[in-house]
Amino acid sequence: MKTTGRIGDWHLHKTVAWSGFSITELLVVMAIMATLAGLAAPAFNQIGGAGALASAGNQVANMANLARTQALARNSMTALVVATDSTLEQAYRAVAVFELAPRQDGQTAQTTDWRQISKWETFRNGVIVDPALTLNEKSDSAATPGVPAPALPSLQITGKPVGSFRYLVFLPGGSLLSGQTESLKLKEGYFPPSSTTPVFTHAANHYGITILPATGRTIITRP
């Protein structure tokens, strides 16, 4: 009798537990959860985009600091370069640092003496450098302030030529060759296929980097 009673009690308990939710109620709960997930997705995407922007901005600021530090430490001229060639997937999304170290033979430095001292750092898709930046262009003449002598060489990224780029040059003392304040902004956005006009997905949000001419130090601004 005791055994039967226990089995009977267990059966009763099991029946009650299983009858806690009907299939209809479970479907309703699942539908509500799906709706909430759909509402939350845009917010999560926005948070992810802001995080990618901050990460890319930190990358560029660190690269600028690397260029300045290298110029000071090695008594050399360095350049922070932004790839802008619209034929490249990395257009306005890749930066690198180059150095023109003093020659040991006493000869005048040549364009071929420039060497890349960092890899190309490429931002995640969805973050670009705003084309409205103050940095020098590859096509600038030698008389333009900020253009080094010798000029920067032809550049490549992932084995492809970089047809156009923007850059700023640090002198051995850490100051800027241009003698003027330089600035650039990173924004959430992209370039549509076959277009050189960017689309900004959150235009009000940006990561601004200003480089002071006398010291080469960076100032970061966020909205």
> For residue 20, is pLDDT > 50?
yes
Write the DSSP string, 103-137: PSSSPPP-GGGEEE-SPPEEPPTTEEE-S---SEE
* Model confidence pLDDT, tens digit, residues 78-95: 999 999 999 999 999 999
> For residue 34, is pLDDT > 90?
no
> For residue 156, is pLDDT > 50?
yes
C-beta of residue 71 within 8 angstroms of C-beta of residue 171? yes
DSSP 40: H
Q: What's the rounded mean pLDDT across residues 187-216?
A: 95
> For residue 48, is pLDDT > 60?
no
* Model confidence pLDDT, tens digit, residues 107-138: 999 999 999 999 999 999 999 999 999 999 99
- b/e sequence 7-42, b meaning 16+ C-beta within 10 Å: eeeeeeeeeeeeeeeeeeeeeeeeeeeeeeeeeeee
Of residues 71 and 8, which shows the higher confidence score? 71
d(CA 113, CA 149): 11
The fold of the 19-221 domain, in CATH, is minor pseudopilin epsh fold (3.55.40)
d(CA 133, CA 207): 12
Percent of the chain residues topping a pLDDT of 90: 70
**Domain spans of the chain, in order of start:** 19-221
Q: What sign results for the dihedral spanned by CA atoms 194, 135, 74, 152?
A: positive
> For residue 203, is pLDDT > 50?
yes
Q: Given this model, what pLDDT does residue 219 score? A: 98
Q: Given this model, what pLDDT does residue 194 score? A: 84
Residue (of 26, 20, 167) closest to 94 by Cα position: 167
Q: Given this model, what pLDDT does residue 2 score? A: 45
C-beta of residue 206 within 8 angstroms of C-beta of residue 187? yes
The pTM of the whole model exceeds 0.85: no
Compute how many other C-beta atoms are within 10 angstroms of the C-beta atom of residue 68: 24
Q: Given this model, what pLDDT does residue 23 score? A: 78
Q: Given this model, what pLDDT does residue 18 score? A: 45
Q: How sure is the predictor about 185, in pLDDT bands with cuts at 50, 70 and 90? A: very high
Q: What's the rounded mean pLDDT across residues 41-50?
A: 51
Q: DSSP 3-state assignment of 211? A: strand
